[in-house]
Chains A and B, each alone.
Chain A
């Protein structure tokens, strides 16, 4: 999700960033209250969401391979063979894989449903 943008020199300007951007910051950065306040802390349960994306995985590799396979390059060498074989099977393999790849991207991108209750501190109240 992105907030209102204005175009400028080909760079999108975004005052705040989307939820993923915000999560990245405010759950990891900022002053930690526990370091300063001991007695009167209220241990409210924080629901955090693991939105981090695993970049180097087999799924990613397969998607890269698929995307590379789809590239329209001026292939050098071995072109004849791959073109012939590719022409025969392209429709079947690509159609199927494309749908699958799309699905995986969507699922992997922002997995908000994996809510894990983190940091449920039980501190004494003042």
Chain B
């Protein structure tokens, strides 16, 4: 790339401060984190401190689109690493303002009380997400065995030519899909029954994928963490062969931000 006067001029304005999240002032960011790349080069993480708050930021070139795999993973990884030791309010991906002064004066200063209160609420809490996938054969067998109507439909298509049984197969699949939704509800409830007592807040989230079984988020106090994880392991044992569970976290508390539509003062 040749540097003409033109590009040099615009370079000054064409940078922005990318904001990952907000932390209490004075915390240390873990070393060795990989921030969102500036443009072609690596970015550098920094803290913009204002009063009792600090924003975790890095410079990004404002003339490139954000959203590569590396960008997305970096946003999440930085926040999760910080969240291990300190409360953090995560920003949604893609928050960029003109410079660090704007971060301090427009974001942190006017909403100081609000962010401080939110951080206090998160202090000493960690988010975990529990995902599970069905063993497809196991769940299908259970559905077929439990429902004579589905059994009949299955027998009807057995050995019939694919084209000839097209609509019968759709009807069968639809019936199975509904039965699976029913089982999902029961399993989500079973998760809550087993785990909610170790969490201060829970959320049942949308299950992704056709074999998806459960997807829940839990806000767990740090001193209840081991009890919670033990209970998850017990559930995994109980469901072995039927549902494969995956525990993600601890992560930043994306799902448990205080009721966070903009505060009144931010609506102005």
Contact = CB atoms under 8 A, between A and B. Distances in A.
Interface of A: 8-17, 19-33, 35-42, 44-49, 52-53, 55-56, 58, 60-69, 71, 73, 75-78, 82, 84-90, 93, 96-97, 109, 115, 117, 119, 125-126
B31 interface: no
B107 A36 contact: yes
Nearest to A25: B254
A15 B249 contact: yes
A7 to B, nearest CB: 10
Given A44-B62, A65-B169, A71 B106 contact: no
Interface string B74-99: 01110010000000011111111111
A26 B66 contact: no
A96 B137 CA distance: 20
A27 B93 contact: yes
Contact of B97 (A23, A29, A41, A58): A41
A82 B158 CA distance: 6
A11 B209 contact: no
Contacts of A73: 141, 144-145
A39 B72 contact: no
A86 B157 CA distance: 10
Given A25-B254, A26-B93, A36 B72 contact: no
Contact of B248 (A16, A41, A96): A16
A56 B127 CA distance: 29
Given A10-B240, A33-B19, A26 B254 contact: yes
Q: Would you call the interface of chain A mostly helix, strand, loop, or mixed?
A: mixed
Interface of B: 13, 16, 19, 21-22, 60, 62, 64-69, 72-73, 75-77, 80, 89-99, 102, 106-107, 110-111, 129, 131, 136-137, 140-141, 143-145, 150-151, 154-155, 157-162, 169-174, 176-177, 207-210, 212, 229, 232-237, 240, 244-249, 251, 254-255, 257, 260-262, 266-267
A60 B140 CA distance: 13
Nearest to B154: A68
Contact of A29 (B72, B90, B262): B90
Contacts of B169: 61-62, 65-66, 69
A19 B260 contact: no
Contact of B247 (A13, A60, A119, A125): A13
Contacts of B248: 14-17, 21
Given A16-B248, A44-B62, A61-B169, A67 B208 contact: no
Contacts of B94: 33, 44, 46, 119
The 8 closest A-B pairs by CB, nearest first: A61-B173, A9-B233, A47-B67, A35-B262, A85-B159, A40-B102, A33-B95, A11-B236
